[in-house]
Amino acid sequence: MDTPTLARVTPATSGRSRLREERHPNAVTAPPVRRGSMVPQPWRGFWKSIGANVLSVVSACLPGQAQAQTVRGPRPMAWETAGQRRRTVFTVLTVLSTLLAASLYHRAQPDGENTWLQMSQLALFVLLSAWVVTGFVTALMGFWVMLRGDRHTLTAASVRDHAMNPEARTALIMPICNEDVATVFAGLRATCESLIGTGHAGQFDVFVLSDSYDPAIAAAERQAWEALRAALAEQTGQPPIEVYYRLRSRRTHRKAGNVADFCRRWGKDYRYMVVLDADSVMSGSCLVSLTQLMEANPRAGIIQTATQAIGHATLHARAQQFGSRVTGQLFTLGMQFWQLGESHYWGHNAIIRVAPFMKHCALAPIKGKGGMSGGIMSHDFVEAALMRRAGYHVWLVSDLTGSYEQQPPDLLSELQRDRRWCQGNLQNSRLIAEPGIHRVHRFMFGIGAMSYLAAPLWLAFMALGTALVLSHPDPLASLHSVSDERLVLWGWTLCLLFLPRLLGLLAVFLKGEQKRFGGVGNLLVSAGLESALALIQAPIRMVAHSLFVLVAVTGIQLDWKSPPREANGVAWRGAAAQLAPIAAVVGLMLVGVAALNPDALLWMLPVTLPLVLAVPFTVATGHVELGGWMRARGALLIPEESWSPAVLRRAWRHASRLSLLKLA
């Protein structure tokens, strides 16, 4: 649906501008269509893929096939050899640590009569311990990179002296759907202004691709788009960067369908595209560096930036952005360390080579019925896997600054987002055996699924533990008996859970950044506060994610909408509607346990008390006032707040102005 613009722009004065005027006339909201092909290939299916893999292994072992197997492919690149070596170390550390923990746990289990319960709990512990160790080893590798660097990874520093190729045309595309208009266009204007400041704006075009079905929001988007073009044209008489707007009439396949629709219409006009989220803000220097990295690495298919969360003022959002800045950075560097050119894609704030994306990354629906079939919901991991399968590299670049996003402002918004992510990641696990998928991306499919399966597994683990205590001949003795093995196991578990946070703090001190976090005292208080909030929220997330897994597996209809981008506070009624049933069930369970064995309550309180108090806790952490009070005292401060980059200051200023206009 391409509708005429209401504004008239003067003709271009330079040859370059006249060429752009002819190819992308300003008389319409979107440029002329140059149709391209983006045809999805059907998936083979999990069991068929397993069968094909088994047959290939069997055929390779047949007489006469050994000589054929000796034919070697291209010599691996240096980073591929390093990546294989690092993944071997990663695997060995994970397996050895898990075996050690499993041995300690087996010896620490009290003697009981129910062998089935004991063995079931041990099996769950092994699986969950491997999951925790995986995260710990990743953080440990990230700390190593922070201290020693990584000569094999792709860095922005390697292209700082490279000239921009004028033929490298890039589209910035922002798919949106019923988002807060002020947030969208304030961030987009700041991004455009920063890009104009680099002097390379002529190589970029911007597309706002709307799937909004609310007529009022669609009208506001159109008005904001016209205002943005007028604002950008104020100085020169014409927009120094083209900004287009399109409202889709057929809203198929959500964001992935919107991106694919852009590729089919205009993908042939561009060598690269940068995908933005509705809350994305990127500096011009970051965008230019991404294009230069693509030009310098012709086999790169996707380059993902390490985004920094910033924007909301609620206590919940501030804790999330502090954790992302201190601890999350370790995990980002760790993943970069062992993934290298087989990294993953987060769906936004990344640059993509358009031609191979159109040829290889179209997404066919998964055959079948229920919540694990249908259109691909979490498209980003799958697109990265398909790009690598086609022979292109996927990189995560951690030293590229100027890439920002917002976190959900409160716990309810976060869980609303996680509901869709849960179903999408479980759905992707059905593609884990597809032929040609690189083993790193198969592993990432597994990690994505385990991110949500871990919740019901932890719930089952604790339920089995409670059942073992209640079934013991002397429950009180079972609760209070502490062996040396159990003490060692508790220490080991605490180390795995909290050492990444300590390593993140240590990295801040080693780099001398404590002043940017408000000083040593504020930094330590902030770390303690973020850890405490994470511990309180963990049981709530565990129960919610368990429900989401149940919804996905059973195929119950999933009604998902984008989480709100603006922090307006959590109403008591809304929090109670979502969380009060859980609190009531847990409360009744505690009453039942107290009637059977009051001594077991002490063991359950660390998990059950946050669930009982979930409603007031969510309301308190979702209000701006408490977050602002903490901010005024230097708590949960991050460097981007103590010294804000220019592009963020622009975005906040524009958002404030647009919000005032909306109120007026």
Report the 10 Å Cβ neighbour count for 449. 21
Q: Is 445 exposed, middle or buried (0-12, 13-18, 19+ CB in 10 A)?
A: buried
Which pLDDT does position 88 carry in this prediction? Answer: 96
Both tokens assigned to 77: 């690149």
The overall average pLDDT reported for the chain is 85
Greater confidence (251 vs 472) lies with 251
Give 57's contacts (C-beta < 8 A, 6+ positions apart): none
- pLDDT tens, position by position, 516-543: 999 999 999 999 999 999 999 999 999 9
| SS3 labels along 57-121 | HHHHCCCCCHHHHCCCCCCCCHHHHHHHHHHHHHHHHHHHHHHHHHHHHHHHCCCCCCHHHHHHH
In a domain, 57, yes or no: no
State whether residue 362 is helix, strand or coil.
coil
Count of the separate structural domains present in the chain? 1
Nearest partner of 348 among 196, 203, 179, 216, judged by Cα = 179
- pLDDT tens, position by position, 540-568: 999 999 999 998 888 776 554 444 545 56
Give 553's contacts (C-beta < 8 A, 6+ positions apart): 371, 372, 426
In a domain, 583, yes or no: no
C-alpha distance across the termini of the chain, in Å: 31
Give 575's contacts (C-beta < 8 A, 6+ positions apart): 412, 614, 615, 618, 619, 622
Contact call for residues 171 and 272 (beta carbons, < 8 A): yes
* Sheet with 242-247: strands ordered across: 242-247, 204-210, 170-176, 272-275, 350-353, 300-305, 393-397
Whether residue 301 has pLDDT greater than 50: yes
DSSP 418-457: HHHHHHHHHHHGGGTT-TT--HHHHHHHHHHHHHHHHHHH
Give the containing element (helix H, strand E) for 122: helix 115-148
Give 517's contacts (C-beta < 8 A, 6+ positions apart): 326, 508, 523, 526, 637, 638, 639, 642
Contact call for residues 338 and 83 (beta carbons, < 8 A): yes
In a domain, 605, yes or no: no
Local confidence band at 385 (pLDDT 50, 70, 90 cut-offs): very high
- pLDDT tens, position by position, 345-361: 999 999 999 999 999 99
In a domain, 585, yes or no: no
Which pLDDT does position 290 carry in this prediction? Answer: 96
Quick one: what percent of the chain has pLDDT higher than 90?
55
Residue written as token pair 């991004």: 191
Give 528's contacts (C-beta < 8 A, 6+ positions apart): none
Which pLDDT does position 463 carry in this prediction? Answer: 82
In a domain, 177, yes or no: yes
Nearest partner of 499 among 132, 88, 100, 130, judged by Cα = 132
* Spatial distance between the Cα atoms of 363 and 572, rounded to a whole number of angstroms: 41
- pLDDT tens, position by position, 48-79: 888 877 887 777 676 665 555 554 557 889 99
Phi-psi region of 39 (alpha: psi -120 to 50; beta: other; left: phi over 0): beta
In a domain, 615, yes or no: no
Domain limits for position 376: 79-472+481-570+622-664
Q: Give strand pairing partners of 309.
A: 405
State whether residue 182 is helix, strand or coil.
helix
Whether residue 27 has pLDDT greater than 80: no
* Spatial distance between the Cα atoms of 518 and 599, rounded to a whole number of angstroms: 44
Please report, for the domain that includes residue 154, its CATH number: 3.90.550.10
- Mean pLDDT value of segment 170-188: 94
Contact call for residues 205 and 188 (beta carbons, < 8 A): no
In a domain, 50, yes or no: no
Cα–Cα–Cα angle for 54, 55, 58, rounded to 5 degrees:
90
Give the containing element (helix H, strand E) for 204: strand 204-210
- pLDDT tens, position by position, 106-150: 877 766 667 788 888 889 999 999 999 999 999 999 999 998 899
Of the ranges 341-345, 370-374, 454-458, which one carries the lowest mean pLDDT score?
370-374
Which pLDDT does position 253 carry in this prediction? Answer: 87
- pLDDT tens, position by position, 242-298: 999 999 988 888 899 999 999 999 999 999 999 999 999 999 999 999 999 999 999
* Sheet with 403-405: strands ordered across: 281-282, 403-405, 308-309
In a domain, 132, yes or no: yes
* Spatial distance between the Cα atoms of 315 and 311, rounded to a whole number of angstroms: 12
Nearest partner of 357 among 300, 306, 292, 403, judged by Cα = 300
Which pLDDT does position 21 carry in this prediction? Answer: 43
Which pLDDT does position 25 carry in this prediction? Answer: 38
| SS3 labels along 512-568 | CCHHHHCCHHHHHHHHHHHHHHHHHHHHHHHHHHHHHHHHHHHCCCCCCCCCCCCCC
* Spatial distance between the Cα atoms of 520 and 599, rounded to a whole number of angstroms: 41
* Spatial distance between the Cα atoms of 563 and 542, rounded to a whole number of angstroms: 19
Greater confidence (593 vs 262) lies with 262
